Amino acid sequence: MLKNKDLRIMIMAAVGLTVSFSLCGYALCGIAAFFLLVALGTAITCGFVIMTKRRYEDIGELSLYLEKVLAGREAPDILDQEEGEVSLLKNNIYKATSTLCYQKELLAKDKVALSNAIADISHQLKTPLTSMIVMNDLLMTEEDKEKRTEFLKTQSNQLDRMNWLIQTLLKLSRIDAGTITMKPEKTDVDELLFEVMKPFEIQLELKNIAYNHEKRALYIKCDKNWTIEALQNIVKNCIEHLKAGGKLDIETNETNIFSEIVITDDGCGIAEDELPHIFERFYKGRNAGKDSVGIGLALAKSIITSQHGEIIVKSIEGEGTRFHVRFYKTIL
């Protein structure tokens, strides 16, 4: 404590003032005034030194607390309900370190999530890549023209799958990073759904799936292109879980709070224990197709929620699934 230059100067000044006032008191009022002023000056100086010592002890505790936090050790609670500058400093330091600890936990979770995502991506790319390597080796030795054509077709399909996977992951990462700005505009729902269903016309015909949508005058405010992307991923999921001869219905509703698009299928449905996980990346349920990657619904949810919307899923295993895609008129 005495190593502090300012403190030493203040103590010396207090001693000097005490001596000066005591001598003046002795000259004016006698020996009694001298001793009274000496005692008063000594008491004030000692009180100041004691208070300063306590303050230094508090600062020392704060320093030790910060050292523990920086070292990654569990730090004690230093919240102080008393008033004063040191107490205020304690509380602010505690808030700051608590925030840092929370951010550290989030970073650790993000690191684990990133590691898992990389492992999942590697696994998803490894399968088509391995197939392509095998096909390429066979092409080098195969002389039959028909088989070579078949191998090339297989390679082309695998390349398409890899391209779709990479493009979807890039879209997800851009949404996560906040580099995509949604451009909401007033959109006719019927026109929107026409664009959504256009790529599935042949697939619906081949599987003999009955598609029904009753047109109505409804407009929603959304980013048209990204919303089409989200809805197509939901429709694609429904079609994958429909058997030949199944039904796919799309209806639209409007309330004072939101407008919604409801996509319903009468497919195999989703088990109750799987419902909370269907929007997780790379999650594949028991009824998922063999070519399913598990990121289509994750992308759909990211797109809708980034527009302050919501996707609600209701499903009964063996009976079908219903997706409620809601666009709120005011931000909740």
pLDDT tens per residue across span 93-119: 777 777 777 787 878 877 776 676 677
pLDDT at 7 over 80: no
Specify the higher pLDDT residue, 314 or 116.
314
130 and 158 fall within a common domain: yes
- Number of domains forming the structure of the chain: 3
Residue 175: its pLDDT value, please? 77
Name the domain boundary from 134, 157, 177: 177
286 and 264 fall within a common domain: yes
Name the domain boundary from 76, 92, 122: 76
139 and 123 fall within a common domain: yes
Confidence band of 211 (pLDDT split at 50, 70, 90) = very high
Six token digits for residue 178: 């906040």
Six token digits for residue 307: 């527009």
109 and 215 fall within a common domain: no
- 67 in a domain, yes or no? yes
Q: What is the CATH number of the domain that holds 266?
A: 3.30.565.10
Share of the chain above pLDDT 70, in %: 84
**Alpha carbon separation from 82 to 70, 78, 79, 207 (Å, rounded):** 26, 12, 9, 74
pLDDT at 283 over 90: no
**Alpha carbon separation from 58 to 20, 53, 61, 62, 80 (Å, rounded):** 34, 9, 5, 6, 11
Name the domain boundary from 125, 152, 177: 177
Encode burial over 167-178: b for 16+ CB neighbours within 10 A, e otherwise.
ebbebbeebeee
Of 252, 189, 263, the residue nearest 219 (C-alpha): 189
Q: What is the mean pLDDT of residues 17-25?
A: 73
- 91 in a domain, yes or no? no
pLDDT at 315 over 80: yes
Six token digits for residue 215: 């047109």
pLDDT in tens, 22-63: 778 767 777 777 777 777 777 877 777 777 777 777 777 777
pLDDT at 251 over 90: yes
140 and 265 fall within a common domain: no
Q: What is the mean pLDDT of residues 83-91?
A: 66
Residue 317: its pLDDT value, please? 86
pLDDT in tens, 119-149: 767 766 776 787 778 778 877 887 788 888 8
- 128 in a domain, yes or no? yes
pLDDT at 167 over 60: yes
304 and 192 fall within a common domain: yes
Specify the higher pLDDT residue, 227 or 88.
227
- 83 in a domain, yes or no? no
141 and 270 fall within a common domain: no
194 and 304 fall within a common domain: yes
Compute the distance between CA of residue 102 and CA of residue 80 in angstroms, rounded to an integer: 21
132 and 254 fall within a common domain: no
- 88 in a domain, yes or no? no
- Structural domain of 271: 185-328
- Among 175-179, 194-198, 277-281, the range with the most confident prediction by mean pLDDT is 194-198
Share of the chain above pLDDT 90, in %: 19
pLDDT at 174 over 80: no
Task: Specify whether the CB–CB gap between 324 and 311 falls below 8 A.
Answer: yes
- 82 in a domain, yes or no? no
- 87 in a domain, yes or no? no
pLDDT at 80 over 60: no
The radius of gyration of the chain from alpha carbons, rounded to an integer in Å, stands at 36
pLDDT in tens, 112-123: 766 766 776 776
Q: What is the mean pLDDT of residues 260-277?
A: 89
107 and 235 fall within a common domain: no
Residue 313: its pLDDT value, please? 93
- 227 in a domain, yes or no? yes
269 and 168 fall within a common domain: no
Specify the higher pLDDT residue, 198 or 44.
198
Q: Is the dihedral of CA 206, 209, 212, 218 positive or negative?
A: negative
Q: What is the CATH number of the domain that holds 117?
A: 1.10.287.130
SS3 297: helix
pLDDT at 78 over 60: no
What 50-56 contacts at long range (C-beta under 8 Å, 24+ apart), as own/partner pairs, is 52/1, 52/7, 53/1, 55/86, 56/1
Six token digits for residue 73: 């050790």
pLDDT at 327 over 90: yes
Residue 287: its pLDDT value, please? 66
Residue 260: its pLDDT value, please? 93
Q: Please, what is the average pLDDT of the chain?
A: 80
pLDDT at 74 over 70: no
Angle at 307 between CA 161 and CA 227, to 5 degrees: 40
170 and 303 fall within a common domain: no
Compute the distance between CA of residue 62 and CA of residue 60 in angstroms, rounded to an integer: 5
DSSP H helical ranges for the chain: 5-29, 31-70, 85-141, 145-177, 189-197, 201-206, 224-240, 296-305
